[in-house]
Amino acid sequence: MGVSKSATGKSVARLEERLGIRLLDRTTRSLNLTAEGQTYYQSCLKVLEELNAAEALLASRKRVVSGTLRINLPISFGRLCVMPVLEEVADRNPDLNLDVSFTDRQVDLVEEGIDLVVRLGDPGDHASLIGRRIGTQRSIICAAPSYLERHGRPSAVEELARHDCLAFAKDGRPLPWAVCGPDGLVRSFVIQPRHTVSHGEALRDATVNGLGLAYLSTWLAADDLHSGRLEVVPIATPTEDGPITALWPRSRDMAPKVRVVVDALVEAFIRSSPPAREQEQHESAM
């Protein structure tokens, strides 16, 4: 903010004097909020949030797509699928500035100052957020032809125990695979992975290089399936295994900069041919 430490300290001291309470506990090594300071801080956040909401409302009434949009995206899906859409939106709206961050953890939009987030799978139950489904994703079990030639092609879930399986890890835990049983019911299958990878594109690369079988989203594996670098393993998986959702804070009116991006994402992921449909066509041709 361009303010020196001494000036900041004097400002806080004047504020404490005016309020008649101590906001900070000070030692030579640390600086912490008092209980009263924490209460005052939370009240100030609410006031600032109301101010932001009022400004967003005015901006929406102007219907001008402008300002900085802070958007958070899943790492692989964001880079491969969302960034091309954002680039087109930015090109069409010269007054729009993008501030894009990438993470596979669930960020707190209000706490971290995020205007819009895209989430894969369960978006979570957050009363403070508004969500719009912008698409669906599907996953398939696949492997490189070189691996299948060496180890054979499994056709049933029970055969996976004899194969090298690659798992995607989230929060240090391998995620299960969703498979369809003979009765058509979907069940969660917990694999015993030989290798675990916590980055989607790295997992795809390991699969292409013949390291084992993997459960990959069709949007991640589509190019390799079409080129023949990967093959679908004939074990049935659900045609849809999770929504793709855009979320933004409920306390803010939907500003034009948010609306234009959400509408563009819907156009890209729902109204155009989804990767899952392309994959179904690929499988039917096998």
Residue 65 near residue 256 (C-beta atoms within 8 A): yes
What residues does CATH 1.10.10.10 cover in the chain? Answer: 5-58
Residue 118 near residue 82 (C-beta atoms within 8 A): yes
Which one is predicted more confidently, 20 or 172?
20
- The pLDDT of residue 205 is 96
Tokens found for residue 283:
């499988």
- The pLDDT of residue 66 is 86
- The DSSP bridge pattern shows strands 139-143 and 165-170 to be unpaired
Between CA 55 and CA 19 the distance in angstroms is: 28
- The pLDDT of residue 196 is 93
What residues does CATH 3.40.190.10 cover in the chain? Answer: 64-137+242-284, 139-232
- The pLDDT of residue 242 is 82
Which uninterrupted H or E stretch holds 125?
none
Which one is predicted more confidently, 6 or 101?
101
Give the list of residues 6+ apart from residue 280 with CB closer than 8 angstroms, or none.
239
Between CA 56 and CA 50 the distance in angstroms is: 10
Q: What is the CA radius of gyration of the chain?
A: 24
- The pLDDT of residue 62 is 59
Residue 211 near residue 195 (C-beta atoms within 8 A): yes
- The pLDDT of residue 150 is 95
Give the list of residues 6+ apart from residue 143 with CB closer than 8 angstroms, or none.
207, 210, 212, 213, 214, 230, 231, 233
Mean pLDDT (whole number) for 259-263:
92
Structure confidence by residue, pLDDT tens digits, 24-78 = 988 878 888 999 989 998 888 888 888 877 777 665 555 678 889 999 999 999 9
To the nearest whole number, what is the mean pLDDT of the chain? Answer: 86
Name which CATH class applies to 139-232.
Answer: alpha beta
Mean pLDDT (whole number) for 9-35:
88
Is the whole model's pTM more than 0.75, yes or no?
no
- The DSSP bridge pattern shows strands 31-33 and 24-26 to be antiparallel
What DSSP letter does each residue of 77-119 carry, written as one string? Answer: HIIIIIHHHHHHHHHH-TTEEEEEEE-SS---HHHHT-SEEEE
**Where are the alpha helices (H) located in 133-217, listed in sequence order?**
145-151, 200-208
Confidence check: pLDDT of 275 > 50: no
Confidence check: pLDDT of 82 > 80: yes
Which one is predicted more confidently, 163 or 252?
163
CATH architecture entry for 64-137+242-284:
3-Layer(aba) Sandwich (3.40)
- 3-class DSSP state for residue 284? helix
Portion of the chain with pLDDT greater than 90, in percent = 46
- The pLDDT of residue 252 is 61
- 3-class DSSP state for residue 133? strand
**CATH (one of 1.10.10.10, 2.60.40.3140, 1.10.3720.10, 3.40.50.300) for 5-58:** 1.10.10.10
Residue with tokens 């008092």: 34
Structure confidence by residue, pLDDT tens digits, 171-200 = 778 889 999 888 878 888 898 899 999 899
- The pLDDT of residue 159 is 92
